[in-house]
Amino acid sequence: MQAVAEKFEPFPGISAQVYSRADFEAVRSIVYDVAGIVLPPGKATLVYSRLAPLVRNSGKQTFANYIDTIKADEGERRKAINALTTNHTFFYRERHHFDHLANEVRPALLAKAKAGHPVRIWSAGCSTGEELYSLALTLLGPDKGEAAPFLRGDVIILATDLADHAVAGATAAKYEMDALKDVPAELVRPWVKQVGTEAHIAPEVCGMIRVKRLNFLGPWPMQRPFDIIFCRNVMIYFDQPTKDTLVTRFIDQLIPGGHLYIGHSERVCGPKQDKMSLVGGTIYRKDEA
């Protein structure tokens, strides 16, 4: 923690009796303990702007009083964590990941599905679902007939996020049509229906998907290992020990030969990193042995 001046005013006219440095430090501690998210000192203004509406709605007059509430009330604490998560995402972000999935990984997964073997994919930190449905459409491909083994087989795409509003958005599977502008048109045509200005993901696609709330710091209830894990631009919010632990858990959740896709500024790290081989731009494959 950096040394700070005694006076702390995140905005002109905001009294330290309403929001103080001690309040910011308390919020930092709660968010880190609950979700592993690191809020650097420069995020004091963001914390104020995100939580001030909750403070008002709770009837508390100060952040200190509200912090006492979120320490004691799990429901209110969950609202605060929701407000402080970052959910920036868009369709076909980091396109080279989807090109790799389509060209290098999909054929083997299609063969598995045809043979009746389970296929499991995880969009970890799925936000409002743009990554999830980019992944699903890439897996299914442009030909509905060829995609039939995926649709009829034991194929599940799990999508998880910490924030309740993100889970709700991913479950709804409805977006502005313009949001899909970067998705190849041959993938949009068979799997997306335009309703006015909205894009509705087809029911058969949604039937493959399970959207759940999950805190990475808590237990992971998955019963089968995964062929693919996408966890992109999530680890940037964690400190190094949390990143190391998370990557180790991801590696343990992958089948031998499974792939982990991470964000452009992230790296595989931790005690089990030697079990992974870099096979593309921020794409890792778990070694067979």
Report pLDDT digits (tens) over 41-95: 889 999 999 999 999 999 998 999 999 999 999 999 999 999 999 888 999 999 9
Find the mean pLDDT for residues 9-25: 81
Give the mean pLDDT of 38-43. Answer: 91
Instruction: Give the pLDDT confidence of 144-198 residue by residue, as tens digits.
Output: 999 999 999 999 999 999 999 999 999 999 999 999 999 999 999 999 999 999 9
The tens digit of pLDDT for each residue in 118-142 reads: 999 999 999 999 999 999 999 999 9
Instruction: Summarize the confidence of residues 109-116 as an average pLDDT.
Output: 98
Position 288 scores a pLDDT of: 86
Q: Residue 33's CB: how many other CB atoms inside 10 A?
A: 10
Q: What is the pLDDT of residues 193-239, one digit of tens each?
A: 999 999 999 999 999 999 999 999 999 999 899 999 999 999 999 99
Note if the pTM is more than 0.75: yes
Are β-strands 198-201 and 174-176 bridged in parallel, bridged antiparallel, or unpaired? antiparallel
- Count the neighbouring beta carbons within 10 Å of the beta carbon of residue 183: 21
Query: How confident is residue 11, by pLDDT bands cut at 50, 70 and 90?
Result: low
Residue 10's pLDDT is what?
A: 61
What integer pLDDT is reported at residue 5 of this predicted model? 45
Is the predicted pLDDT of residue 241 greater than 90, yes or no?
yes
Residue 287 neighbours by CB distance under 10 Å = 12
Question: Is pLDDT of 6 > 80?
Answer: no
Task: Convert the pLDDT of each residue in 246-271 to its tens digit.
Answer: 999 999 999 999 999 999 999 999 89
Whole-angstrom Cα distance, residue 180 to residue 133? 10
Long-range contacts of 138-145 (CB under 8 A, 24+ apart): 138/98, 138/101, 138/102, 138/106, 138/187, 139/101, 139/106, 139/109, 140/187, 140/190, 140/191, 140/205, 141/102, 141/106, 141/187, 142/184, 142/186, 142/187, 142/189, 142/190, 143/190, 144/190
Q: Looking at 238-288, which runs of residues are DSSP E strands?
A: 254-262, 276-280, 283-286
Residues taking part in catalysis: 50, 161
